[in-house]
Chain A
Amino acid sequence: MSEVLRAEQLCRYYSVPQGFTKPKAVVRALNGVSFNLQAGQTLAIVGESGCGKSTLARALTLIETPSAGELWIDGKPIDFTHKPSAELRRTIQIVFQNPYGSLNPRQTIQQMLDEPLLLNTTMSKSERRQAVATMLERVGLRPEYAERYPHMFSGGQRQRIAIARALMLKPQIVVLDEPVSALDLSVRAQILNLLTELQQELGLAYVFISHDLSVVERIADQVLVMYFGRVVEYAPKTTIFARPQHPYTQALFSATPQARVGEKRERIHLQGEPPSPLKPPSGCAFNPRCRFTQTICKDELPELRNLEGSQVACHLAPIG
């Protein structure tokens, strides 16, 4: 297996004006995230709203330039100061969360799927038309749909179109930014099946961003749990689902509804709100809400360390 994506200490900061007289504040939306992804594998990024999942997606696809850190795509280091090349675009693509906002209402499906080919390849018009028809069939839509507008499709069909568009350039990596959270349950399963089929067929690597652990359990190979712009736990799926090490991961997992009868589990209720990005807590960002907080948690930032096959950023792990 070859490594197609590698991030080292990836950061993205925003400066926020605080008013006329005060200096600008810096929000660290993404604060030193590292991981790597093998061809054909799925990395799930998990965390609650505002933890930096979508910022990570936008940084990986270079929609927003990372503020610091390094990124290797397909073994090549990325120079953030340059505009992404056509070659890079062919390697990494993105599918957005909301299929109602990600399709241009004034373009037909043909025009929409044609655009990446038109801009990045030298294919003739009839070749492109053929490629669009083939891709529509591959994602489970009729080729005749090419002349229709997005408003004529349902949410699930729209998401199929969005997936088709991401695959037009035959990328190796697809970043899926909560691709099924806007869909209802039955459609969700169909889209997940489609994604799994496409992954096997085309050898795609997925960065799958989600807050839905049942979806993650189904599709992921590796799981990366984020809190407040940092990685708190990074482990293979089976390991993390069998034994979550970080107190935050434990709380997150205990919040998933269980369908199995008879299995009893302790429900961990998190106290309070996620910290304000303008006033980050000292030490471990999770300490104001953690059940186990001790003095060291307030003083020192925990580094990721190896523990029973996982990487955990907690002073106290194993715990709980």
Chain B
Amino acid sequence: MSTPLEQSHWHITWNYFKTSRGGMIGLAFLVILLLAVIFADFIAPFDPALQNRQALLLPPAWTEAGHLPYLLGTDAVGRDILSRLIYGARYSIFIGCVVVSLSVIIGTLLGVIAGYYQGWVDTVIMRIMDIILAFPSLLLALGMVAVLGPSLINAMYAIALTMLPHFVRLTRANVMGEKNRDYVIASRVAGAGNLRLMFKTILPNCMAPLIVQATLSFSNAILDAAALGFLGMGAQPPTPEWGAMLAEAREFITRAWWVVTFPGLAILLTVLSINLVGDALRDALDPRMRRS
């Protein structure tokens, strides 16, 4: 290898990641989004729940009827759309993080156990996962939320559950592939117990596909939460969640295009950039995809 010897795995991965234009664009967008989320209180021109009766359904500022400071216009009750989008990003990122962490942690745990022990443990875990997979994911989430009661938190649990099988399957397959490799056996001969073998020896070698799957699930989580919000089963008004915003605005779709367009665009761009980053990450982490 011509690269300096002291480079770590992550350094090499980053170097490969940098070569992907799509990945860098996506990453840039996400960084901007993250900054907006952190500094929402300073950037957003208005309180997201503040209603202005003088400016109902005001078009964006660059159109003839619109005016500043309502840059992207207002919705049916006179709330600033830009401010709501900025605060909405908070919810979306929060939803993505919580849902993905929940399903990654639980899914990896179950997957490692199933793949390592095999036998009846594997059968039990995998059949449960098959049952979850058998339902269309949104329908299952909808059913769970209907039982638990509509709220953002319940929607997140429900979405996390529907994503679980993907992580379990992925981890299990990787663990089964790794567990009979010589380095695992060497570790066992050195005296490593089951827990150490599972989580310290095998798991770090299965991380690359999991990271990619987690990235791609992040966008799915946002999308599913938006879908649940759209159906009234997720975030409740006046929470400025993007999906819920879309749902509230759908009756104005013929009269005020901006009320639906901007939340939709926000979801689209975020999901797109996360997918771009995920793709670039997969290429960067997979040695076979690397160009030399």
Residues on A lying within 8 angstroms of B by beta carbon are 61, 63, 86, 89, 93-94, 96-98, 101-106, 115-116, 119-120, 148-149, 151-152, 162, 165, 168-169
Contacts and interface: CB of A to CB of B under 8 A. Distances in A.
A115 B5 contact: no
B190 A102 contact: no
20 contacts: A63-B188, A94-B186, A97-B182, A102-B182, A102-B183, A104-B183, A104-B201, A105-B183, A106-B204, A119-B190, A119-B196, A120-B190, A120-B191, A148-B5, A149-B8, A152-B1, A152-B5, A162-B186, A165-B186, A169-B190
B189 A63 contact: yes
A102 B191 contact: no
Most A CB within 10 A of own CB, among B185, B189, B201, B204? B189
Contacts of A169: 190
Contacts of A101: 181-183
Nearest to B192: A119
Contacts of B123: none
B189 A86 contact: no
Given A98-B182, A102-B183, A149 B191 contact: no
B19 interface: no
Given A104-B201, A106-B204, A149-B9, A89 B182 contact: no
B16 to A, nearest CB: 15
Given A94-B186, A165-B186, A115 B205 contact: no
B183 A89 contact: no
Nearest to A93: B189
Given A104-B201, A149-B9, A152-B5, A63 B185 contact: yes
A247 to B, nearest CB: 34
Contacts of B196: 119
Interface residues of B, number: 21
Contacts of A165: 186, 190
B101 interface: no
A187 to B, nearest CB: 18
Nearest to B196: A119
B187 interface: yes
Contacts of B190: 89, 115-116, 119-120, 165, 168-169
Given A106-B204, A148-B5, A115 B183 contact: no
Contacts of A93: 189
Given A106-B204, A106-B205, A149-B9, A96 B192 contact: no
Contacts of A106: 9, 204-205
Contact of B192 (A61, A103, A115, A152): A115
A151 B287 CA distance: 12
A63 B187 CA distance: 11
Interface in B1-58: 1, 5-6, 8-9
B186 A86 contact: no
Nearest to B205: A106
A115 B181 CA distance: 17
A151 B12 CA distance: 12
Contacts of B6: 148
Shortest Cβ-Cβ A-B pairs, 5 listed? A102-B182, A119-B191, A116-B190, A106-B204, A104-B183
Contact of A115 (B9, B185, B187): B187
A123 B122 CA distance: 38
Contacts of A151: 1
Nearest to B8: A149
B191 A86 contact: yes
Contact of B189 (A89, A98, A105, A149): A89
A89 B190 CA distance: 7
A276 B189 CA distance: 31
A129 to B, nearest CB: 17
A104 B201 CA distance: 7
Contacts of A61: 189
A120 B191 CA distance: 7
Nearest to B4: A152
A162 B1 CA distance: 21
A162 B190 CA distance: 12
